Amino acid sequence: MKVSVIISYYKNKINLNLILKALQNQSETNFEVIVSEDDYNEDTFTFLENCKKDYNFPIKHTNQDKDVGFRKNMMLNKSTKLAQGYLLVFIDGDCVPHKHFIKAYIKNFEEDVMLKGRRVMLSERLTSKLKKTFNLKLLDLPNVLFSKSKKKKIGVYSPFLNLSYNSDKKWLLGCNWGISKKTIYKVNGFDEDYQRAAVGEDNDIEWRLKSIGVKGKSVKNKAIVYHLFHKEKYSKEDLLFNKQILKNKKLKKNYYCLNGLDKVT
């Protein structure tokens, strides 16, 4: 089974470099990477062209024609169309995957099931050290446990024991989840009406997938990512604005979104 790892990326080459290095270190090698850039930046083209030879997986790149604000969902749809993998795995450009990340997604895959991962919230100090050294051993469990990171228990890798309960009730995080390409087409992908950060690429698509009978399955403590420290990039106003859009869509029961992979008139 081939996997397409889609990385939502915006203006941070150091983070992207760390993610690509972690993907090079994966125990499972049958995957491709799509850098889904919500921007137009010549520097990204140059960077990816120069580094492709250093990795044993193919790297594709999608981007905007120009940077006109938050259009993450538009880029996720472009990347979904480009993906050749049967299983799509979505991560954010500030999340570094554990070495068994892709292996866990393949092992836990089920048709018409959302796989929901979680993230360790790295401390500012550990994040800074990681960015300076690019030493992935800093993400070993003892280092994380003895840091001031949050949600450290997420970093306990448990491939055989299920450490999560009521997995279908765990909400989906856009920074770490997976589903088959076939299933995501059933709801027409991501709704491009969301043009502010905070809600849309996860809450909205989870609601629509559940509405057509897609179940959720936790891969907590199996498919682990380490979230690099940064300040919040969205406002309370953005959050409330998007929540109102979501509320209106639920009232209309638009499970198959109108502004998605295929535009519906």
In 3D, which of 13, 18, 20 has the Cα closest to residue 39?
13
The answer to whether residue 265 sits within a structural domain is no
Mean pLDDT of 148-158: 96
The answer to whether residue 264 sits within a structural domain is no
Residue 265 has pLDDT above 70, yes or no: no
pTM (predicted TM-score) = 0.95
Q: What is the DSSP string of 247-265?
A: HHHHHHT-SS-SBSSSB--
User: Do the beta carbons of residue 7 and residue 19 sit within 8 Å?
Assistant: yes
The answer to whether residue 262 sits within a structural domain is no
Indicate the number of domains in the chain. Answer: 1
Q: What is the DSSP string of 185-244?
A: GGGTS--TT--SSSSSTTHHHHHHHHHTT-EEEE-TTTSEEEEPP----S-HHHHHHHHH
pLDDT in tens, 129-146: 999 999 999 999 999 999
Distance (Å, whole) CA 94 – CA 12: 9
The answer to whether residue 109 sits within a structural domain is yes
Distance (Å, whole) CA 72 – CA 64: 10
The answer to whether residue 261 sits within a structural domain is no
The predicted structure's pLDDT at residue 164: 64
Q: What is the DSSP letter of 54?
A: G
Distance (Å, whole) CA 77 – CA 60: 14
The answer to whether residue 19 sits within a structural domain is yes
Mean pLDDT of 236-246: 91
Residue 163 has pLDDT above 90, yes or no: no
The answer to whether residue 259 sits within a structural domain is no
In 3D, which of 126, 125, 109, 129 has the Cα closest to residue 117?
109
The answer to whether residue 257 sits within a structural domain is no
Distance (Å, whole) CA 180 – CA 164: 22
Q: What is the DSSP letter of 163?
A: -
Residue 128: which CATH number? 3.90.550.10
Distance (Å, whole) CA 251 – CA 243: 12
Domain that holds residue 179: 3-252
Of the pLDDT bands very low, low, confident and very high (cuts 50, 70, 90), residue 264 is: confident
